[in-house]
Amino acid sequence: MRVGYARLATRLVSLSQWCAATVLSMARAENIRAVVQGVRYDARSSFLRGCADAPQAVRRVLGNGSANWCTESGVDLSQRNDWRDEGDVEPPDDALAALEIIDHETAARVGEGVAVLSIGGDHAITHPIMQAMARVHREMTIVHFDAHPDLYDELDGDRLSHACPFARIMEEHLASRLIQVGVRTSTPHQREQAVRFGVDTYETRSWDGMLPALSGNVYLSIDVDVLDPAFAPGVSHHEPGGLDVRQLLGALTQVAESDCTIVGADIVEINPGRDINDMTAMVGAKLVREVLGMMLS
Ligand SMILES: [Mn+2]
């Protein structure tokens, strides 16, 4: 029976690889340049769960008629056929199984010329997403917006916690450069980790609003708690003293105007159970529109 299972497993892997290749070639045939995926996973959250409901909350306000589908620079996403929403990835709570599924699903979507925008989920999802991205794209620069550096070696014994993804990403050399913007909670341990991994850190207390020059392949990871809780109350970890939405959009504009290619992005840690009148879901929706517009420009 063992041989039988092994053979079946091999066939399932071949089948899934064939499906992934087919999806990719279909995407190319249709000129799809960006896809959106929801990642309904919040089991690695250290404080509160609820982020798994963010993809629906963001999609609901994107489609409820309260705003149009134009980016600030005038790209009307409702008139474009070069992007599509591929629905949700719904991993089980088990960390290793979840990582494998998120990696696998992302791998089926990412390609040369096809960027993937993920709506999280807690920040743990960025590690398996980057595993999939790194098999396609070399020498990626991550621009990471967050109140927290998420560089813990482990938190409460969990090395796959949402507080650890950037330690795992840098250890596995999934990116060649990590730029962190908006950090205002770094512990002595995480400061050591930042030095160890050569992180380029722009702390909120001293940031002048400027990003360093960017080139090559860029991945954007946006934890919405980079914003002040006044502008985005619907997150698990309120950290006062954060950016306003315009400062974040200003930084994204600098990325858009630099000589780089945005190969992927995630918008994570929105917790609808903590939101007030969809304020934070609307911030998420705006970020989806702006980042999609950047991917398609
Ligand atoms: Mn955070």
For 67, other C-beta atoms within 10 Å of its C-beta total 13
**Chain segment 28-86, per-residue pLDDT in tens:** 557 999 999 999 999 999 899 999 999 999 999 998 989 999 999 999 999 999 999 99
| Lowest mean pLDDT, pick from 4-8, 18-22, 65-69, 244-248 | 4-8
pLDDT over threshold 70, residue 125: yes
For ligand 1, the distance from its centroid to the CA atom of residue 9, given in whole angstroms, is 38
Provide mean pLDDT across the span 88-116.
96
User: 46 C-alpha to center of ligand 1: Å?
Assistant: 11
CA 265 to ligand 1 centroid distance, Å: 15
User: Domain holding 182: CATH number?
Assistant: 3.40.800.10
Distance 111 CA to ligand 1 centre (A): 28
Q: Do residues 22 and 38 both lie within one domain?
A: no
The yes-or-no verdict on residue 264 having pLDDT over 90 is: yes
Token duo for residue 133: 């991205």
* Same domain assignment for residues 19 and 159: no
Q: How far is the CA of 23 from the centre of ligand 1 (A)?
A: 33
Asked whether residue 289 carries a pLDDT value surpassing 80, the answer given is yes
Q: Are strands 34-39 and 83-89 parallel, antiparallel or unpaired?
A: parallel
* Of residues 150, 149, 145, the one with CA closest to residue 164: 150
What would the mean pLDDT of 120-144 be, rounded to a whole number? 97
- Percent of the chain having pLDDT more than 90? 88
User: What domain count does the chain have?
Assistant: 2
Same domain, 47 and 140: yes
- pLDDT over 60 (residue 12): no
pLDDT band at 7 (very low <50, low <70, confident <90, very high): very low
Quick one: 64 and 113 in the same domain?
Answer: yes
164 and 226 co-located in one domain: yes
Residues 15 and 152 in one domain: no
Tell me, in angstroms, the distance from the centre of ligand 1 to residue 237's CA: 7
5 and 66 fall within a common domain: no
Ligand 1 center to residue 67 CA distance, Å?
A: 27
Q: How confident is the model at residue 1 (pLDDT cuts 50, 70, 90)?
A: very low
pLDDT at 3 over 50: no
Domain enclosing residue 9, as ranges: 1-30
Q: Kind and range of the H or E element at 264?
A: strand 259-268
Query: What is the tens place of the pLDDT at every residue in 219-259?
Result: 999 999 999 999 999 999 999 999 999 999 999 999 999 99
Band of the pLDDT at 17, cuts 50, 70, 90?
low
7 and 75 co-located in one domain: no
Share of the chain above pLDDT 70, in %: 90
**Helices and strands, number each (H, E), in the chain:** 8, 8
Same domain, 121 and 244: yes
Per the DSSP assignment, residues forming a β-bridge with 180 are 144, 201
Between the CA of 166 and the centroid of ligand 1 the distance, in Å, is 12
Tell me, in angstroms, the distance from the centre of ligand 1 to residue 131's CA: 20
